[in-house]
A = this chain, B = another copy of it.
Amino acid sequence: SKTHKIAVIAGDGIGQEVMPEGLRAVEAAARKFGIDIEFSHFDWAHCGYYAQHGKMMPDDWFDQLKGFEAIFFGAVGWPATVPDHVSLWGSLLKFRRDFDLYVNLRPVRLMPGVPCPLANRKPGDIDFYVVRENTEGEYSAIGGRMFEGTERETVIQESVFSRKGTDRILKFAFDLAQSRPKKHLTSATKSNGIAITMPYWDERVEAMGAKYPDVRRDKYHIDILTAHFVLNPDRFDVVVASNLFGDILSDLGPACAGTIGIAPSANINPTRELPSLFEPVHGSAPDIFGKNIANPVATIWSGAMMLDFLGNGEGKYRQAHDAMLAAIEEVLVNGPTTPDLGGKSNTTEVGKAIAAAI
């Protein structure tokens, strides 16, 4: 049977603490379901590397990574020494762009055992996906400053939406919606205010929607959409959004479902010609780093999404994914849990418990 080659990059801060638990869980599931994985560790794409080399990654990073099927990623960013935009654009955002990981898929689910900040919501009430465009839109590197340092200083940045970039993320989202029982797609827009790019987004949603007559679709401006995440999270099934709006919704959604600490994500290149990347939604969290109290669930869940991806959602791969999710649920309900969920256990204890439950 095939050996899956996975690159592992723990990165900065709590990325270092949660990654060993992600690996422990993936290894347990792989062993149990007879999936053959080979991990290769890379000690760059973190701010310590930057301090030594003046860059986040070696020049041949692309060649070093391109042959892998997937990258299992922790977190990056250490603003005390490297500005975030330097560390992120020098690593994670480069991966997303250069490996053309145009889908950022982020499940939002209220899990059993997780206290919900919303009144009267129970597991099952919140269960949807944010499908985020991941390569273009508001995250551009085009623009600059004029009249620098003077009263007339002006800073301009361009958002770029291409038909190719817009249509392919919409297609992914409509396909996903069509595969789910509710067949419901919500588009995040802001065409009333962001009056050039967002009306275009709306047009492409209409055009793509016409090909999916069985998918019910609606759209909300991003401002009121964030309100509905709080007031009516049960209204959503698949939410498709631009790069920036998807970024916002995929932190807000998990917060409504209790915590960012368990939210996973998959950065996917559906062609599979280049590695896809799996990472927790949370960042490197310098404030809690070093205490070994970070919640490893987001990384473990991301690992489950990675296994599912490796097998195209089929057979033993899907079983491995489901077993990992079941183990996560079991441990969330019965403990041990980390302090962010009110528990007293550390990262390693929770990771071991989940691996054991698998």
Chain A residues packing against B (C-beta within 8 Å): 77, 83-85, 88-89, 93, 116-120, 138-139, 141-145, 150-164, 190-200, 222-224, 226-228, 230-231, 243-244, 247-248, 250-252, 254-256, 259-260, 283
How far, in whole Å, are A221 and B49 apart by their CA atoms in the complex? 24
Asked if A199 contacts B250 (CB within 8 A), the reply is no
A35 nearest CB across to chain B (Å): 33
In whole angstroms, what is the CA distance A223 to B120 when docked? Answer: 24
Q: Give the residues in chain B near A231, CB-CB below 8 Å.
A: 117, 255, 259
B residues near A118, Cβ cutoff 8 Å: 117-119, 230
Copy total for this chain = 2
Contact B163 A151 (CB under 8 A): yes
A91 to chain B, nearest CB (A): 11
How far does the alpha carbon of A152 sit from the alpha carbon of B166 in the complex, in Å? 11
Check A244–B190 contact: CB distance below 8 A.
yes
B194 & A244 in contact (Cβ 8 Å cutoff): yes
A83 to B189, CA, bound (A): 13
Which chain B positions have C-beta within 8 A of A192? 77, 84-85, 88
For residue A164, which residues in chain B have a CB less than 8 angstroms away from its CB?
151-152
Determine the chain B residues whose CB is within 8 A of the CB of A222 once the complex forms: 247-248
Query: Is A161 touching B155 in the complex (CB atoms < 8 A)?
Result: yes
A199 touches which one: B85, B93, B156, B283 (CB < 8 A)? B85
Q: Which residue of B lies closest to A84 (CB)?
A: B192
Contacts of A248 in B (CB 8 A): 222-223, 226, 248
Contacting residue for A230 out of B152, B160, B230, CB 8 A: B230
Cross-chain contact B194 with A223 (CB below 8 angstroms): no
Distance A92 CA – B197 CA, assembled complex (angstroms) = 20
For the complex of A and B, 10 pairs with smallest distance between CB atoms:
A227-B255, A84-B192, A223-B251, A153-B163, A85-B195, A157-B196, A143-B196, A226-B252, A119-B119, A155-B200
